[in-house]
């Protein structure tokens, strides 16, 4: 398992001891990790990261421009930039909400959801499925691991 994923699980277990937790990491990869109340890792999902995907879309097409990753005014756009912003924001928002729903179904519980990583601040305000956004979450896990060496 990647050390960043491990650090995310450790931080969640240490900071929020009650119940099951999901950590969504909006980094180079988009990951969702789930930990049980007893500290056992239940499982992990690894998907392409949001900026990674955007760079791939822009890099591998002839006419799509670089865009700022912000919420567009409406889901349906009428210019290329808004259309792409909708795909990036609402597409990945749907993916994350779907992960949370499916994980909750699989573990038969309502997990607490923590978001971290580079672009987590863009997605947190758009959904009630993320309960806490903490850009320092992974680092807190590393700190905890270091403090216990």
Ligand X SMILES: CC(C)(COP(=O)(O)O)[C@@H](O)C(=O)NCCC(=O)O
Ligand Y SMILES: Nc1ncnc2c1ncn2[C@@H]1O[C@H](COP(=O)(O)OP(=O)(O)O)[C@@H](O)[C@H]1O
Q: Own/partner pairs for 64-72, CB < 8 Å, 24+ apart?
A: 69/119, 69/122, 70/122, 71/122, 71/126
- Contact in structure between 114 and 137 (CB atoms under 8 Å): yes
Question: Token pair of 29, please?
Answer: 């990869």
Span interacting with ligand X, options 26-34, 86-94, 104-112, 140-148, rule CB under 6 A: 26-34
Count Cα neighbours of 7 within 13 Å in the Cβ-side half-sphere. 18
Q: Which of 4, 25, 109, 134 is catalytic?
A: 4
Q: Is 43 one of the binding residues for ligand X (CB under 6 A)?
A: no
Q: Is 49 one of the binding residues for ligand X (CB under 6 A)?
A: yes
Distances (CA, A) of 24 to 8, 95, 140: 9, 11, 15
Residue 134 is among the residues annotated as catalytic for this protein: no
Count of residues that interact with ligand X, criterion CB under 6 A = 11
Span interacting with ligand Y, options 12-20, 36-44, 96-104, 117-125, rule CB under 6 A: 117-125
- Contact in structure between 119 and 69 (CB atoms under 8 Å): yes
- Contact in structure between 144 and 39 (CB atoms under 8 Å): no
Q: Which of residues 14-43 bind ligand Y (CB under 6 A)?
A: 27-28
One of 14, 16, 29, 41 touching ligand X (CB under 6 A): 29
Q: Which of residues 60-89 bind ligand Y (CB under 6 A)?
A: none
Question: To the nearest whole angstrom, how small is the minimum distance from the Cβ of residue 70 to ligand Y?
Answer: 10
Q: Which does 51 bind (CB under 5 to 8 A by kind): ligand X, ligand Y, none?
A: ligand Y
Enumerate the active-site residues. 4
């Amino acid at each position: 398992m990647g050390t960043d994923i491990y650090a995310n699980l450790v931080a969640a277990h240490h900071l929020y001891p009650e119940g099951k937790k999901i950590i969504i990491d909006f980094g180079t990869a988009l990951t969702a990790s789930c930990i049980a109340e007893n500290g056992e890792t239940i499982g992990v999902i690894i998907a392409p990261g949001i900026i990674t995907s955007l760079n791939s879309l822009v890099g591998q097409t002839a006419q799509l421009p670089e865009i700022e990753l912000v919420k567009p005014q409406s889901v349906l756009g009428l210019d290329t930039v808004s259309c792409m912003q909708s795909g990036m924001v609402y597409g990945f928002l749907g993916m994350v909400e779907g992960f949370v729903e499916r994980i909750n179904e699989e573990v038969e519980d309502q997990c607490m959801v923590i978001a971290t990583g580079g672009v987590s601040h863009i997605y947190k305000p758009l959904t009630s499925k993320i309960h806490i956004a903490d850009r320092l979450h992974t680092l807190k896990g590393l700190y905890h691991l270091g403090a216990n060496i």
